[in-house]
Amino acid sequence: MSSQKAPSIAVRGVGKSYSGVTVLHDIDLDIAPGEVHGLVGENGAGKSTLLKILGGAIKADAGTLSFDGDQVTVGSPRDAIAHGISLISQEGALVPALSVLDNVFLARWSHRGGLVSARTDRKRLAELMETTGFTVDPDARVDGLPIGVQQQVEILRSLARGARVIAMDEPTAVLAEHEKENLLGLIRKLAAGGTTIILVSHFLEEVLSVADRITVLRDGALIRTGNASETSPRELVGHMVGREIDVLYPDPQPVPDGAPVMLAARGLKRGLVNGVDLQVRSGEILGIAGLVGSGRTETLRLLFGADRPVEGVVEVDGVELAKHTPRAAMAAGVAMVPESRKEQGLVMVRSVAENVALSSLSGRRAGPFVKRPAEKTAVGDISKSVDIRAANPEAAIETLSGGNQQKALFAKWLLREPKVLLIDEPTRGVDVAAKTQIHHLITGLAADGLAVVCVSSEIEELLALSHRVLVLRHGEPAGEFPRGTSPEVVIAAAFGSHEGEPS
Amino acid sequence: MSVDTTPQTAAAPAPSAGTNMSRLAFRMRDYGIVAALVIIVIALSISTDTFLTSGNLVNLLDQTAVIGLLATGATICIISGVFDLTASATLALSAIIGVQVGRVTDVYVGMLAAVVAGALLGFVTGTVVVRSGVNSFVGTLATSMVYRGLAVMVTGGAIVYPLTASAEDFGMLTWPSLFGLTSATIMFVVVVAILGLVVARTTFGRRLYAVGGNAEAARLSGIRVGSIHVTAFMISGVCSALAGLILASRAGSAQSTMATGTELTAIAAAVVGGTSILGGEGAVWRAIVGALLLTLIGNGFNLLGWDTIYQQVLQGLLILFAVTMDRWLRKRTR
Ligand SMILES: Nc1ncnc2c1ncn2[C@@H]1O[C@H](COP(=O)(O)OP(=O)(O)OP(=O)(O)O)[C@@H](O)[C@H]1O
Ligand SMILES: [Mg+2]
């Protein structure tokens, strides 16, 4: 987007370790100007770490970085920005209380005589929105925006800074299907304009479709870099995990006849949600599909009592919830894996073990005391079954890779052995292998009689996992589809009659 | 870690060189402030011959008791994500209540009344903060003014004394006890040990950290965030009341201006000890280390006979030294 050309990047011998644990080892990587470079690997392989080093967010312990043959030091995000590198991190880096406009031009506001000139910024933002095709309200506070839109704000910010290299860490993990397509389109457009894009993603097809070359990392080492056109998802997975594995989605077992209704809701209303009814039987997996803003997440929150419905009834196992609070729902056997692990899911500064144990503390206590051996066993077992990879369960959970954090969040709720499990984006940021593992886990739990309600932006996942898919549109049910329905039909229902018009 | 090793899982932390190293680094990171404390202790032991005398050590611990109790209350509040600026006002008000009740009943009932008053005041503070939803800094600042004002009203601004007949008993916390330590020290050690256990080992402690680290995640995990906060304020109230009793016992009286401003010293001790003001991190032992450090620095000045003119400057510098060392050790392991 910038008038200047992107530099060619040479990474040589880059390494990084944390407290003696090597997380990146001797990485050599060349990235050509205007290239779309895919970066793939299992959870914890070191992808984010490598991007953060490029983006100046952390310092490498070893190795060098050169642009157009000149060795450079990227010691801080400021340095990186000065070199035209912009990092869009996995966790997001917006200032929550500021407006879209202020975030886009953060610390780079146009000014005239020392005063910020909002008018100029507004014009620049309008231009940027035109090139990207995004439509965002410049005055909205970013913490009120859906995650997908927040991410657009981050992209706008990179462009506003005149980035010539944009490193994106799992940008599509939080996006709905059509938003993903838009983003991939934008990536192609930027690359055609000479901007280099480094893309980390667990969606291998997506990486294959957009990248020129793809690098595979495994356990902190670079396994190979190859042309995207000469490789297949299967081959990539093989390199990622170091062996051949099956990545087929398991089929859920049929719901037994006469299985009791475990969760029922009637006439749920609040904010976006305008009269949702649903019923899930024991052993059944209900998928909820819909566009961003269709009230999917809000519906789950109402079911769990995270927000109090202004109208409506929730029944668990035939008993109406007396109070709409998480505590009441949990006492009735409901668990919810929330949408955002950083804001709603995890206590980032506490250890992996403490986080996993948190929602089921009362189940393992002797008087007021935590039964530590029992906790250790419980956390150890569940961590193994969802495959959390942490060097040390006592380490702060913020030191885990994104995908492993997601698995820990999942583990935390499984430890409660719920009767009803509400899941918002079950596999956000989880690698292909672990994803199948989580799918097996969910279908297995359902087979044991758990009732599951699952929201996912990934329509393929939803259709593969669910017995039925409920489509929401403007906070109201817009159709219900059995297993085996084609994705196109579901998407059409989500859009309503005017296909292609985002709500 | 080489390419072919299978990654370790949380379930089976293999004792590889890597994890051992990281465990060690963990220790270093955790105990930087202790190292600073030890250095100051060694320096004082070498440079004076009075420091390591039992008389001085008994005195030192006795001095630490008041600020140590307050710092413990402050730490527990800070861990849960709130500040308690009512600490010193609660201290004064409950000590006064203790003395007054003691006058009409007996000394022991009076002391019990002081502790109950501390808990109740903490309950009120907590309820005000939780119910009003205002920032705890502002909420407790206002509440502390009310408490101080009540203390003035109750005493009419005068000093209150126990009955002459029970004046001697009232000084019981200054009496020597086990190992020659004062009763105040023993009480301090016992209370702090209990609270340390509560915070580190109970389900309440776990919830305390969770609420301070991420209140929304805690709420969605079924934790009653409000009642955790109220409980934290109540514990802080009891700590304040106990500290008030020690001061009153020493002085043989109580008054409305007691310990003015010590809530800030308590917060300073908590933070010097390494408790994060962002919440969700910290420990009771850190409060004690912080309180010891502050007391020790003051003590050192007296022993060295340095001019008190320089005391504040050097005190500030030593605190900076201690916290910088703590920071530095933590950062190196990042
Ligand atoms: N601050 C830190 N302290 C200790 N270890 C860390 C820290 N940050 C990252 N790690 C470790 O480094 C390794 C690589 O993490 P990284 O975030 O780069 O993985 P990733 O490839 O991005 O994984 P994901 O796909 O799950 O996002 C992980 O094992 C992680 O636990
Ligand atoms: Mg990552």
b vs e for B133-163, b when ≥16 Cβ sit within 10 Å of the residue's Cβ?
eeebeebbeebbebbbebbbebbeeeebbbe
Pick the CATH number of A282-309+321-499 from 3.30.70.600, 3.30.420.10, 3.40.1260.10, 3.40.50.300: 3.40.50.300
The CB density around residue B319, as the number of other CB atoms within 10 Å, is: 19
What's CA A484's distance to the chain center, in Å?
A: 26
| Nearby residues of B26 by Cβ (< 8 Å), 6 or more positions away | A19, A392, A394, B333
Is B217 in Cβ contact with A343 (below 8 Å)?
Answer: yes
In a domain, B130, yes or no: yes
In a domain, B26, yes or no: no
Instruction: Count the domains in chain B.
Output: 1
Q: d(Cα A377, Cα A388) in Å, to the nearest integer?
A: 14
- Residue B274's domain comprises 50-328
Q: For residue range A324-335, list pLDDT tens digits in order.
A: 999 999 999 999
Q: For residue range B224-256, list pLDDT tens digits in order.
A: 999 999 999 999 999 999 999 999 999 999 999
Q: For residue range B59-73, list pLDDT tens digits in order.
A: 899 999 999 999 999
B6 confidence band (pLDDT: 50, 70, 90): very low
Distance B274 CA to ligand 1 centre (A): 26
Chain B residues touching residue A354 (CB < 8 angstroms): 206, 209-210
pLDDT of residue A242: 85
Residues 242-271 of A with CB under 8 A from B: 242
Residues 384-423 of A with CB under 8 A from B: 384, 387-395, 412
Query: What is the domain class of A9-241 according to CATH?
Result: alpha beta
Q: Is B251 helix (H, G, I), strand (E, B) or coil?
A: helix
Q: Find, in chain A, the residue whose alpha carbon is nearest to that of B25.
A: A19
Phi, psi angles (nearest 5°) of residue A76: -155, 165
- In 3D, which of B319, B283, B289, B192 has the Cα closest to residue B246? B192
In a domain, B33, yes or no: no
pLDDT (average), residues B29-54: 84
In a domain, B42, yes or no: no
Q: Is the pLDDT of residue A168 over 90?
A: yes
pLDDT of residue A103: 87
pLDDT (average), residues B173-179: 85
Q: Find, in chain B, the residue whose alpha carbon is nearest to that of A337.
A: B220
Q: Is the pLDDT higher at A201 or at A292?
A: A201
Q: For residue range A427-448, list pLDDT tens digits in order.
A: 888 888 888 888 988 999 999 9
Q: d(Cα A347, Cα B214) in Å, to the nearest integer?
A: 5
Distance A299 CA to ligand 1 centre (A): 33
Q: d(Cα B99, Cα B87) in Å, to the nearest integer?
A: 18
Q: d(Cα B40, Cα B303) in Å, to the nearest integer?
A: 13
In a domain, B2, yes or no: no
DSSP assignment of A93-144 equals: ---TTSBHHHHHTTT---EETTEE-HHHHHHHHHHHHHHHT----TTSBGGG
pLDDT (average), residues B25-33: 65
* Residues B92/B254, Cβ–Cβ less than 8 Å: yes
pLDDT of residue B176: 85
In a domain, B334, yes or no: no
> Tell me, what amino acid is at A370?
V
pLDDT (average), residues B162-182: 86
Domain extent listing, chain A: 9-241, 282-309+321-499
Testing the interface with A: which of B9, B21, B195 to mutate, by most A Cβ within 10 A? B9
Residue count of chain B, please give it.
334
* DSSP 8-state symbol, B160: B
Interface A–B counts its CB contacts (< 8 A) at 146
Query: Residue whose CA is closest, atom 28 of ligand 1?
Result: A44
Which CATH number is B153's domain given?
A: 1.10.3470
* DSSP 8-state symbol, A208: H
Helix (H) or strand (E) holding A261: strand A261-270
Is B213 in Cβ contact with A348 (below 8 Å)?
Answer: yes
Taking the whole predicted model, whether its pTM rises above 0.80 is answered as yes
Q: For residue range A282-309, list pLDDT tens digits in order.
A: 999 999 998 878 899 999 999 999 999 9
Distance A144 CA to ligand 2 centre (A): 24
pLDDT > 70 fraction of chain B, expressed in percent and rounded? 89
* Residues A198/A86, Cβ–Cβ less than 8 Å: no
pLDDT of residue B140: 97
Q: Is B13 helix (H, G, I), strand (E, B) or coil?
A: coil
The mean predicted confidence, pLDDT, of chain B is: 87
Beta bridge partners of A451: A420
Residue with tokens 């642009």: A67
Q: d(Cα A32, Cα A13) in Å, to the nearest integer?
A: 18
pLDDT of residue A107: 66
Q: Is the pLDDT of residue A79 over 80?
A: yes
Q: CB-side exposure of A261: number of CA atoms within 13 Å?
A: 12
Query: Residue whose CA is closest, atom 18 of ligand 1?
Result: A46
CA dihedral (A155, A158, A162, A167) positive or negative: negative
Determine how β-strand A9-18 pairs with β-strand A21-31. Answer: antiparallel
Determine how β-strand A420-424 pairs with β-strand A451-455. Answer: parallel
Task: Tell me whether residue A434 is exposed, middle or buried, using C-beta atoms within 10 angstroms of its C-beta: 0 to 12, 13 to 18, 19 or more.
Answer: buried
Residues flanking ligand 1, CB < 6 Å = A 18, 23, 41, 43-49, 90, 399-404, 429, 431
pLDDT of residue B19: 47
CA distances from B3 to A38, A182, A224, A465 (A): 20, 36, 12, 33
Q: Is the pLDDT higher at B333 or at A85?
A: A85
Q: Where are the alpha helices (DSSP H) in A416-458?
A: 432-447
Distance A442 CA to ligand 2 centre (A): 23
Testing the interface with B: which of A16, A17, A21, A364 to mutate, by most B Cβ within 10 A? A21
> Tell me, what amino acid is at A178?
H
Task: Tell me whether residue A452 is exposed, middle or buried, using C-beta atoms within 10 angstroms of its C-beta: 0 to 12, 13 to 18, 19 or more.
Answer: buried
Tokens representing A460?
A: 């393929």
Distance A216 CA to ligand 1 centre (A): 15
Distance from CA of A7 to the nearest CA of B (A): 30
In a domain, B179, yes or no: yes
Point out the least confidently predicted range of A459-463, B160-164, B174-178.
B174-178
A25 touches chain B (CB under 8 A): yes
Q: d(Cα B64, Cα B197) in Å, to the nearest integer?
A: 20
Tokens representing B84?
A: 């308690």
Q: d(Cα A240, Cα A223) in Å, to the nearest integer?
A: 8
